[in-house]
Structure 1
Amino acid sequence: MADRVALVTGAAGGIGAAVATELARRGWRTAGLDLRPAPNVDHGVGVDVSDDAQVRAAVVRIERELGPVEAVVCAAGHYAITPMADIAWAEWRRMLRVHLGGLLNVCRAAVPAMVGRGRGNVVGVASELAIGGGDREAHYAAAKGAVLGLVKALAIELAPTGVRVNGVAPGPTDTPLLVPDSPWRRPAYLQGLPAGRLTAPEEVALAVAFLIEDGGFCLGEIISPNAGAVI
């Protein structure tokens, strides 16, 4: 793995940071795309993943400085609780641009070279809300549901090329995205989970690492580490 390069979006915090740390621990060289500095990677680039031109330029720079990208993990995103009637169109579009558009932009920038080499891995980070829905989370759940659809479509399209595409759909995860007064942190909710706690970002990172390193038989699969929130 010493010469293999993994590109992680959203690497400055939360799940993205945990993924970058876990892959580095396993010997990968890591590159991070994020609006904020990502100190836990070998090479960080300040990028808005919803901007196709920025992403393409960043991938060219990363491959020039670190080497060919062998794995892509798209964890960049944001979260909000808003009643359906109060969701502004600008925020609806932003959810789709960052989550769905970010995954597509990174794939369009990095996957053609993977196809040329006949190997590579893409992991899209979705959410269990894409599977089970959520109260006052229509825009987030819809964007993450679209991520699942894109993962499955790309898995079929790219399977003959040697590039594997899979996803993870974590449940509520113990990251700063869940503010202290989040309903997902309330004791009543946690007590209702079979595991009795939130998912740890490090656990999501282990699922991602499995799909990249050991899940050669996985194509279009969605692993959902969610403390039993969806069974």
Structure 2
Amino acid sequence: MSRSVLVTGGNRGIGLAIALAFAEAGDKVAITSRSGELPEELAKHQAIAVRCDINDAAQVDAAFTEIEAANGPVEVLVANAGITKDTLLLRMTEEDFTSVLDTNLTGTFRVVKRASAKMMRARKGRVVLISSVVGLLGSPGQANYAASKSGLIGFARSLARELGPRNITVNVVSPGFVDTDMTAVLSEERRKEIVSGVPLGRYAAPAEVASAVRFLSSDEAAYITGAVIPVDGGLGMGH
């Protein structure tokens, strides 16, 4: 049965792969991004794109209103939108820190809160938050990003307890290094260094992250909530 699915930050990289996976399965897919552009790959599936900055509560509410009018209340929410501002602690400004927390953590709070109201009325729903192996493993120069991504885990597990009685599951997918535009800018030396620490010896494909998200959103995962699913080639084992 076709569901109303929203993927934030769904215009490129991991978010686009996730949106495509749902669209190819026949779901009604909406994506949000700051640009509001609809990638060609999604246009083929009659997906819709809505301009939305998740740092703005009014824009979040307006985006949901538009999506609900087109596709019905959101039944599957994938909170993927996020930013990085990497630098070592002593060079990190307060704005570097707070802007990453505001987008990655508080922005996620805004979209989950807006989606969960309708899910609670329907007494069903799936929420998947996209964290990162860095959230528990840590990474030099990413104190702000790591803090935001580990915060998503505590947020998700609290909501899993809160929303579980209404048949709403809340889970986290924690990717490792994924072959996207963001990682393509790394030097060959740095890429080799990263891969050397990954037991499977390679980067993930975005579609591999999307597969985990689709599973957690499926009927087969109806009894899984509060889980953190790593898609990191073994990089974060033990964390």
Are 1:216 and 2:225 matched, yes or no? no
Matches within 5 A, 1:96-111: 96-111=101-116
Of 207, 210, 215, 1:205 maps to 210
**Structure 1 runs (4+) greater than 6 angstroms displaced:** none
Assess if the C-alpha contact under 8 Å between 1:13 and 1:38 holds in 2: no
Amino acid at match of 2:26: G
Q: Take 2:188 and 2:231, find their aligned partners in 1: how far apart are those partners? A: 19
Partners of 2:16 and 2:84 in 1: CA distance:
17
Farther-moved stretch of structure 1 (179-188 vs 127-136):
179-188
2:127 maps to 1:122: yes
Aligned twin of 1:13: 12
Alpha-carbon separation, structure 2, partners of 1:5 and 1:67:
6
Q: Which moved more, 1:8-17 or 1:180-189?
A: 180-189
Cα RMSD (Å) of the superposition?
A: 1.5
Structure 1 residue 193 displacement after superposition: 1.6
What TM-score, normalized to structure 2? 0.92
Query: Residue by residue, what CA displacement relative to the aligned partner does 1:46-84 show, whole Å, maximum 9, x if unpaired?
Result: 100111111011101110111121100011112232101
User: Structure 1: how far apart are the matches of 2:130 and 2:17?
Assistant: 13
Tell me how far 1:131 sits from its aligned partner: 1.1
Matched residue, 2:48:
43
Alignment pair present for 1:77 and 2:77: no
2:7 is aligned with what amino acid? V
Residues 20, 138 of structure 1: alpha-carbon distance in 2 compared, 3 angstrom cutoff:
same
Determine the C-alpha separation between the residues in 2 that align with 1:184 and 1:67: 47
Name the residue aligned to 1:226: 232
Q: Quick one: percent identity of the two aligned structures?
A: 35
Question: What is aligned with 1:172?
Answer: 177
Letter in 1 for 2:22: L
In structure 2, runs of 5+ residues without a counterpart are none
Is 1:34 matched with 2:33? Answer: yes
Q: Give 3-state SS (helix, strand or coil) of 1:73's partner.
A: strand
Report if the CA contact (8 A) 1:79-1:177 is conserved: no
User: Which letter maps to 1:11?
Assistant: G
Distance 1:64 1:209 in 2: 24
Q: TM-score, normalised by structure 1?
A: 0.95
2:89 is aligned with 1:90: no
Determine if contact 1:166/1:221 at 8 Å carries over to the other structure. Answer: yes
Distance 1:219 1:182 in 2: 38
Paired residues, what number? Answer: 230
Q: Which residue of 1 aligns with 2:60?
A: 55
Distance 1:203 1:197, change over 3 A: same
CA distance 1:95–1:182, shift in 2 (3 Å):
farther
In the alignment, residue 210 of structure 1 is paired with which amino acid?
A: F
